[in-house]
Amino acid sequence: MKSFFKFLSEATASQQAARLGLVGDGHGGWYDKNTGEFTAKTEKGRLKFYNKRQSVGGKDPEQTEKEKNVSDPNFVDPRLRQQAQAQPAQQAQPQQAQQPEGPPDVPKTKGTLTLAFGRFNPPTIGHEQLMNVARDAAKKDKDGQYMIFPSRTQDKKKNPLDPDTKISYMQRMYPDHADNIVNDPETKTIFDVLKMAHNDGYTNVRIIGGADRVKEFDKLSGNYNGKLYAFDNIEVVSSGDRDPDAKGMEGMSASRMRLAAAESDFKTFREGLPPDVKRSEAKELFDVLRGAMQVKEGWSIWEIAPKFDWKNLRENYVTEKVYKVNQLVENLNTGLIGKIIRRGANHLICVTEDKIMFKSWIKDVSESVVNGTEISGVPADQRLVGTDAHRKYVETMVPGSSYGKHFINKYRKKKIDTKNG
């Protein structure tokens, strides 16, 4: 950017004259508008300054040093130079960046909170193990408490069950942990949970997660300790390894359960639930899941269960059919939603609206969606498992259900009666 005095020196004669308050005679001469004294003349497109004491047509008297300076075409009034120099100095001063306020100062009146944050979509036998690990870890602490926080995300492919329905099934499937499963719309991310624990006065937290998520939780939670929340100690504990190729609990995951539901494989789906779950209850969950997924022809395995179709997921990623720069995605492990700012070989670098940066493997993200809590006309608070309202809700989620037909027939009858009336 040009400085003010350089701009002035490069301006045309008429521009210079205008800035100095001079009036032209139409023949290249310029006069002081206040005194009428001849001051300058246009020569080669520039102003040439003359003595104030000059009379037109006469000989110039000897110039003073000041007048010699003024006659220089590159001369700029010192007052203007000072102003120009001061202006950039003022602009150069960087604006003070607003520092994060940091966590609120709250009295630490409680000990350690053990917590788990996950999708549970759908709940599996492996999730029961995670809760057992959380409960057992909390027992080691004096007055130790544990809480389970299901995520709030919902989409047809990777998170088909809405939060209320999912939590309702969890509380019934895991009766020993029912009172510790939290249904709070405000705990959308792991950071929401940690801030809540801080505000509730906990001194320490212990995070329970799958072995494949320990490093991620450890790094993220540690990076923002003292900024978003403040704990004396943050511990991350593994709930155990998972082997996708193994049979039984070690090989069962929500991804495999969704894949089984998509393929109408109730036998495999049933094996992924705790043994105490009745067959009728398992079938109900199976049907609800399929209804929520709305499986259509043309869907690929990598869209529903990416870990079982890594090759096609990567092919779609490399060809930029998914996860483009500036797209909003959600980290399925932490609940963080951010805009993609960089694409790696198999990972993404994203930034949230609150300027929190996080890294995600492409298998652990999903396109960000707006969650809904009203489905099929059944309010969330009426979707408790075992209630009549829940039965109606389940039936509306199952293709070809009788309840849906009754509703349609009732609507048609009402429409016909209106026409006849």
Sequence spans of domains, the chain: 4-91, 110-293
Contact yes or no for 33/23 (Cβ under 8 A): yes
The Cα-based distances of 420 to 408, 415, 416, 417 in angstroms read 18, 9, 6, 5
Beta bridge partners of 148: 116, 181
Taking only the tens place, the pLDDT of each residue in 382-402 is 444 445 554 454 454 444 443
Residue written as tokens 């951010």?
Answer: 338
Cα-Cα-Cα-Cα torsion 322, 326, 329, 333, nearest 10 degrees, comes to 110
Instruction: Please give the angle made by the CA atoms of 416, 420 and 421, to the nearest 5 degrees.
Output: 115
272, 261 contact by CB (below 8 A): no
What is the Cα–Cα distance from 76 to 6, expressed in whole angstroms?
9
pLDDT of residue 308: 86
- pLDDT tens, position by position, 30-58: 777 666 667 777 777 777 776 555 444 44
Q: What are the backbone angles phi and psi of residue 234, rounded to the nearest 5°?
A: -120, 120
Q: Note whether 180 and 190 are within 8 A (CB).
A: no
**Any idea what DSSP says for residue 35?**
T
CA gap 357, 220 in Å, rounded: 9
Question: Burial level of 348, CB count in 10 A (0-12/13-18/19+)?
Answer: buried
The residue among 245 and 167 whose pLDDT is bigger is 167
pLDDT attached to residue 27: 65
pLDDT in tens, 304-325: 888 888 899 999 999 999 999 9
Looking at the structure, give the CATH architecture of the domain made up of residues 110-293: 3-Layer(aba) Sandwich (3.40)
Q: Taking a C-beta distance cutoff of 8 angstroms, is the pair 76, 49 a contact?
A: no
**What gap in Å lies between CA 236 and CA 138, rounded to an integer?**
13
Backbone angles phi, psi at 103, to 5 degrees: -70, 150
